[in-house]
Every structure is written in structure tokens, then in C-alpha cells.
Amino acid sequence: DAMVIQNPRYQVTQFGKPVTLSCSQTLNHNVMYWYQQKSSQAPKLLFHYYDKDFNNEADTPDNFQSRRPNTSFCFLDIRSPGLGDAAMYLCATSSATGGVGYTFGSGTRLTVV
């Protein structure tokens, strides 16, 4: 089945140690998104790619970076994780045409120790 896959499901990293979260999709969607969701809060958009065009949200900290080497893969890099970066990180995709919503991956739960 076509889907969005995030790895790993759970990630524990040390304070200040760079960490990379990955997302892959078999839907061939143009657009890929990264959201951060903290407990009992709405998902917050960090950035998105429209094909190769990178779009950063104005309030996304510089500590967060992203790469999209091809249509299928997108990575979230956290250069120096702080305790406040502990959250669920959600990858989502959508087609640039049509009125459908997002397809979400299952998320990566990041713990910073």
C-alpha cells in the first residue's frame, strides 16, 4: 500500500547531540511537511517542500533543518537538541493538485536526555 513511513518510531538523543529523523513516501506527492507536536497541543508546521523548493516557517528555530534529496525522502535534522525539543515529529505529504488533505506518517517520538 502507498504510504508515508517515518523512522524511527521512538528516538532518544542526548542534549546537544545532532539527530536526524527520516520520512519516506510511496505516494509520489509533490509536497512534504514536517510538523512538531507537543503534548496536548496542535501540530505546528516547521517547514515544507514543494518539490525541491524549501519553505521555512518564520518562527521555526535555526536549530531545525531539513533535506529532501529526492521525491520520496525527506529528513529533519536537529542540530543541537534541547529539552524543549522533545515532541512528536510528524511527516505529512500532499499532492499539489486536488482537494485532498494530508497523509501523515506514524510520527517519531523524540526524547532528549
The answer to whether residues 10 and 109 touch, using CB atoms and an 8 Å cutoff, is: yes
From 20-28, 39-47, 59-67, 74-82, span contacting other proteins (CB under 8 A)? 39-47
Measured distance CA(15)–CA(80) in Å, rounded: 7
Cβ proximity to other proteins: between 42 and 83 the closer is 42
- Dihedral angle sign, alpha carbons of residues 21, 27, 32, 36: negative
Cβ proximity to other proteins: between 35 and 64 the closer is 35
Under the binding rule (CB under 8 A), the answer on residue 28 touching other proteins is no
- Minimal distance, residue 36 CB to other proteins, in Å: 11
CA angle 101, 105, 111 (to 5 degrees): 130
Cβ proximity to other proteins: between 8 and 16 the closer is 8
Of 48, 74, 76, 87, which lies in the binding site for other proteins, with binding defined by CB under 8 A? 48
- DSSP symbol at 85: G
Q: Which of 37, 19, 23, 110 is nearest to 69 (CA)?
A: 23
- Minimal distance, residue 16 CB to other proteins, in Å: 27
Contact residues for other proteins (CB under 8 A)? 31, 41-45, 48, 50, 55, 88, 90, 94-96, 99-107, 109
